[in-house]
Structures are given as C-alpha cells and as structure tokens.
Amino acid sequence: MATSDRIHHADVRTESNCVFDVIKDSRSGRHAVLAHSDIRRAISALQSGPVSFCRNNVIACQGDDADYMFMVVSGVVRACKIFQNGDRAVVAFYLPGDLLGWCNNTQSLSIEAATNAVVLFFKRRPLVSMAAHNPSLARLLLDLATKELCRAHEHAALLSRDAKSRVVLFLSELKSRSAGKDRVVLGMSHQDIADHLGLTIETLSRTITSLERSGAIRRAAGRTLLLRDAWSPLRITLT
Amino acid sequence: MATSDRIHHADVRTESNCVFDVIKDSRSGRHAVLAHSDIRRAISALQSGPVSFCRNNVIACQGDDADYMFMVVSGVVRACKIFQNGDRAVVAFYLPGDLLGWCNNTQSLSIEAATNAVVLFFKRRPLVSMAAHNPSLARLLLDLATKELCRAHEHAALLSRDAKSRVVLFLSELKSRSAGKDRVVLGMSHQDIADHLGLTIETLSRTITSLERSGAIRRAAGRTLLLRDAWSPLRITLT
DNA sequence: TTGCTACGTTGACCTAAATCAAGAGTCTGA
DNA sequence: TCAGACTCTTGATTTAGGTCAACGTAGCAA
C-alpha cells in the first residue's frame, strides 16, 4: 500500500467526540430516546475505541469470522465481494453514522476503507444480547438493518438500468445521504464507483463527462461534483 | 388478468396450518424459542388470515402506504421495482416461510404473486411494538432482516457478472433456499427470472440451453430443473 | 524542480448481450 | 377438438458498454 500507515490522531479525537451526535442525527430525532448511556455501555462492553484506517486498508476480511460490527465515524467505507478471478463488486458504501457488518455468519464481504476513515468496532454478541434487554436499542438495530435493506434493493434495481441512469441515480443517492446540498463529495475513487455501478472506469468517466457537457453537473476540485440547480433524476432523461 | 380469480381454499387451509412450522423450520432450530403463542398473538392482533393470490396478482402496490408485512405460506412472491418507462426489475423472490415488506416508509416496491400463492398479512405497527416486549420476536425480526440483507448483497454482486454466472448462481441460491435437493422447481416464469438477473428472456433461454448442452442441468416437466450430480457453481467455469 | 506513481480522460475497436423476428410448445376455455 | 394466448426457443442483426491503448494531470518525495 503506497499510502503511509500513520494514524490521523487529530481526526480520531475530534470525530470520535461526535459519534453520539452522528447516531442521533441520522435517526432524525425519532431515536433521541436512545440515551447516550446505551451507546456508552455498548462501547465499554467491547472495549474498542475508534480506529483509523488509511485509504484501501482492509477493515475486515472476506472469510473472517464476523465477530464485529462497525460504525463509520468519518470517511467512506466500502463493502466488497471479491470473485475468484480477482474481479470485485462494491456492494455498498457507508458514510459517517452508518452501521455495517450485519451478516452474522462467516463474513461474506471484505470491508475496506475507501478513503482515510475512522471506524468504531462493536462486538456483535454483546451488542445483540444487550438489545434483548433494551427495546429502543433493538428497535434502532432493526430500523438500521431495514434501511440498509431498502438501499440494497434500490441498488439492485439500479444495476439493471443503463450507464447514464446508474450514474445519475448513484449521485442522487449520495446527495441525499450526505449533506443533501448540491455539492456532492465523492471521497471514493472512480474505480470504486465503477465497481459499485457495474461499469468500467472508462464508461463512468465518459458518462460523467457527458453529464457535464449536458449541463447537469459541474466538476469541482477534490472529487467534488456540483449538481445543477434543480437537480433531480426526474429532470434528466433516463432510459 | 387471464388467470381466473378464484381462491384456492384447499391450499389456504392445508398450508395455513403449516405456517408456524414453516417459521420454525426456516430458523434451523435456533428459533425454537419463538413460542407458537407469539405468532398467534401477532396474527390475532391484526386479524388477517391467509389470503390467496393468483399468479401475477398484485399484493401491495408500489406507492401504497406500507402498513403491512407479509409472510409467504405457499407459492412464490416477487418484489418489483417498476420504472417510468415500464421496465421492471425483480428485486427479490420470496419462498414459503419468508417474511417480506420491511421498508417502513412508503412502499417503494410492488409486491406481486409470481405463482399462485398464499400469503399471511401482518400489520406492521402491532408487530413492531410487540417486539418491544418480546426479545425473542425482536431477535427473530432482526435475524430475518439481516438474512435478507445478505441475500440482497449477494444478488447485487451477482448482477455485475456475466450471463452464465448469473444463471448458475441464481440456480444455486434457489437450490439452497428451497429443498436443498438436486431438483429445483422454478415456479416463476422466465420473464421473472430474466428481470431478476438483469437479462432478457432470450439470453436466459440461451444460457439455460447451453448449460443443458454442457450437461450441468437437465430440464424436467413443470418448470423444473435437475441439477447435475455434483452441482456446484465452483465446478462450473464461471468468468 | 524533477521524476514517479496513481488516477482520470479520450479514442479506436470488439464483443456479450440486447433487439428484432419467426416459430414451436403448452395450457385453457369453448 | 380447435382456437387463441401465453411462454419458451432459436436465429440474424445491432448496439451499449467493455477492452485495449495512449495520453493528461495531480500529488508527493527527493
């Protein structure tokens, strides 16, 4: 790995202080019920603080035992399925506040940092058994799993469409999942996005270029895209 | 709809008596904890017995409020995403014992009978709030949602592979989800399967034919395929 | 600054799967 | 028994996107 392995302690500290808020925010008030102490107990039960990963570092291996779940504190995390021939599908991206690693049997996906990222580790067993005594935690887990299931379904539906639609819908999803503003920061590489959309980097690049030429988006520095004023997939002709 | 709308009462009765067992079986013993009375209470709380649907009937509309969850008693149910242009993606198939309809906001998928099917309705609210007082039910729901999430991820990964791999992996999944025997009954039409795999019916047909010619499968009557003795996707050259 | 490496873009060409078209089974109802 | 409607199969042709190749650019270390 070319990127150096030094840990960004500054990130860890500042971001980790926000973890509780992240959780609350992503639940849109409905889970304010979930007291900080619940999460504190969960964290202390498994004793693993936030860990920093450099871009492309592996957080959990395809084939490993799936003893942990993960919460993204900062950066972008990807879940990949790696095939025998070395090809790869990026099954999902996770943004700050997302909980991942649901599959309770042998880890079927490789979990990797798509950008430099800070991740919280949760031991699965304690977390799940704590949910048995804590209905609001149980509810939170079910809601998060359900939400991710919906996203996975949308993603699968997206994959049977043409290249332009895939890119447009991907950008829309990213927009709504991040700030919701017209500025979308793609932390991940084109290769990651292409593998997520079932395209090649060349096709992705061409598609983005053509969206730019049609005025739907503008490129900005640092893997950032500016979506046109009234961006909406409905206003762009999809097949 | 060409198929008549008569209800198969015989089916309803015999199958509905099996519903509880179906739930237990599909949880492979681990959820024997879940007493019958739990489910009985859930069913009685929402007062809706098993309902029969003929092939292609719509069980819940894309856009409807998602007040219900469904459990397949018999037959095959499909979840479809329907696009503006009329195209369709079959996001998932559900077999007897499967619980579906997780998405708690507006129904984003159309739920339809892929074969004649008998389905149990659960009112979402009572079911979820009951889980708050019943840890084993909460655990069951989380496990089922998680399991489906894993399937959705596998499915998404499958969609970035070539036609032969998609078909082979689909048959493998179906085999392991149904009896586990070498006889796979595809209740659903080729059109359904093609829309699930992101292929056309022509490509699907050609792929099945070529698998048959290579000796991997044999066709039998009634949409049934016989998988070769030591069927395994690993023993078939996938790209 | 220079050189290096990873990442992204663009063009030319090719191929897997879509599309178009024609039949062949299969089921149902009259 | 036959007619009509689905459903599936097979062949010919087209095309969207993949592959191969070359080049541009940004970030970084020396």
Residue with the two structure tokens 């949602």: B145
As given in the structure block, the two tokens for residue B193 are: 């399967």
Q: Half-sphere exposure of residue B198, counting CA atoms within 13 Å on the CB side?
A: 22
DSSP summary character for residue B235: G
Nearest to A89 among B104, B148, B157 (CB): B157
Q: Are B182 and B176 in contact (CB under 8 A)?
A: no
**Cβ contact, residue pair A155, B156, below 8 Å:** yes
Flag whether pLDDT at A27 surpasses 70.
no
A123 strand C contact, CB < 7 Å: no
Residue-level pLDDT at B105? 72
Mean pLDDT of chain B: 80
Q: What percent of chain B has pLDDT over 90?
A: 54
Q: Considering only residues B26 and B162, tell me which one the structure prediction assigns the higher pLDDT.
A: B162
Q: Are B92 and B144 in contact (CB under 8 A)?
A: no
Interface list for B 184-223 with A (CB within 8 A): 195, 198
A210 strand D contact, CB < 7 Å: no
A208 strand C contact, CB < 7 Å: yes
Q: Which residues contact B128 (CB under 8 A, 6 or more apart)?
A: A139, A142, B141
Please tell me the pTM assigned to this model.
0.85
Mean pLDDT within B10-35: 30
Flag whether pLDDT at A7 surpasses 80.
no
Summarised one tens digit per residue, pLDDT across range B220-238 is: 988 999 998 778 888 888 8
Interface list for A 157-186 with B (CB within 8 A): 157, 159-161
Q: Regarding beta strands B99-100 and B68-74, do their DSSP bridges make them parallel or antiparallel, or are they unpaired? A: antiparallel
B200 strand C contact, CB < 7 Å: yes
CA gap A34, B152 in Å, rounded: 28
Mean pLDDT of chain A: 80
Which helix or strand (DSSP H or E) is residue A22 part of? helix A19-26
As given in the structure block, the two tokens for residue B207 are: 């792929």
Interface list for B 88-127 with A (CB within 8 A): 89, 91-92, 102-104, 108-109
As given in the structure block, the two tokens for residue B200 are: 């056309």
Q: Are B88 and B82 in contact (CB under 8 A)?
A: yes
SS3 A13: helix
C-alpha of B137 from chain center: 21
Shortest CA distance to B23 belongs to which of B43, B7, B52? B43
Residue B199 backbone phi and psi in degrees, to 5: -120, 175
Burial of B28 (0-12, 13-18, 19+ CB in 10 A): exposed
- Which residue of chain B comes nearest to A195, CA vs CA? B160
Shortest CA distance to A66 belongs to which of A99, A97, A95, A109? A109
Q: Are A221 and A165 in contact (CB under 8 A)?
A: no
Residue-level pLDDT at B20? 34
SS3 A220: strand
pLDDT band at A3 (very low <50, low <70, confident <90, very high): very low
- Which residue of chain B comes nearest to A102, CA vs CA? B146
Q: How far is the CA of B209 from the C1' of D9 (A)?
A: 9
**Cβ contact, residue pair A103, B149, below 8 Å:** yes
Q: Please give residues of chain B from 199 to 218 whose alpha-adjacent beta carbon (CB) lies under 7 Å from any atom of strand D.
A: 201-202, 204-206, 208-209
Residue-level pLDDT at A115? 96
Flag whether pLDDT at B100 surpasses 60.
yes
CA gap A179, A176 in Å, rounded: 7
B190 strand D contact, CB < 7 Å: yes
Summarised one tens digit per residue, pLDDT across range A44-100 is: 555 577 899 999 999 998 887 778 899 998 999 999 999 988 899 999 999 998 999
Residue-level pLDDT at A40? 52
A164 strand D contact, CB < 7 Å: yes
Distance from CA of A155 to the nearest CA of B (A): 7
Summarised one tens digit per residue, pLDDT across range A114-152 is: 999 999 888 888 888 888 888 888 888 999 999 999 999
- What is the DSSP code string of A154-190? HHHHHTTS-HHHHHHHHHHHHHHHTT-SSEEE--S-H
Summarised one tens digit per residue, pLDDT across range B128-170 is: 888 888 888 899 899 999 999 999 999 999 999 999 999 999 9
- What is the DSSP code string of B55-123? TT-EEE-TTS---EEEEEEES-EEEEEE-TTS-EEEEEEE-TT-EE----SS--SEEEESSSEEEEEEE
**Cβ contact, residue pair A159, B160, below 8 Å:** yes
Shortest CA distance to B99 belongs to which of B69, B138, B60? B69
Q: How far is the CA of B186 from the C1' of C21 (A)?
A: 27
CA gap B109, B158 in Å, rounded: 20
Interface list for A 135-154 with B (CB within 8 A): 135, 138-139, 141-143, 145-146, 148-150, 152-154
Summarised one tens digit per residue, pLDDT across range A179-211 is: 767 899 999 999 999 999 999 999 999 999 999
CA gap B45, B187 in Å, rounded: 32
Residue-level pLDDT at A11? 28
Residue B15 backbone phi and psi in degrees, to 5: -70, -40
Nearest to A141 among B109, B142, B156 (CB): B142
- Which residue of chain A comes nearest to B155, CA vs CA? A156
Distance from CA of B24 to the nearest CA of A (A): 19
As given in the structure block, the two tokens for residue B213 are: 């010619």
Taking CB atoms within 8 Å and a gap of at least 24, the contacts of A24-27 are A25/A97, A26/A97, A26/A98, A27/A140, A27/A143
**Cβ contact, residue pair B102, A150, below 8 Å:** yes
Q: Which residues contact A14 (CB under 8 A, 6 or more apart)?
A: none
**Cβ contact, residue pair B135, A139, below 8 Å:** no
Residue with the two structure tokens 């022509």: B202
For chain B, where are the E strands, in sequence order?
51-53, 58-60, 68-74, 77-82, 88-94, 99-100, 110-113, 117-123, 183-185, 217-220, 224-227
Shortest CA distance to A189 belongs to which of A214, A222, A166, A156? A222
B180 strand C contact, CB < 7 Å: no
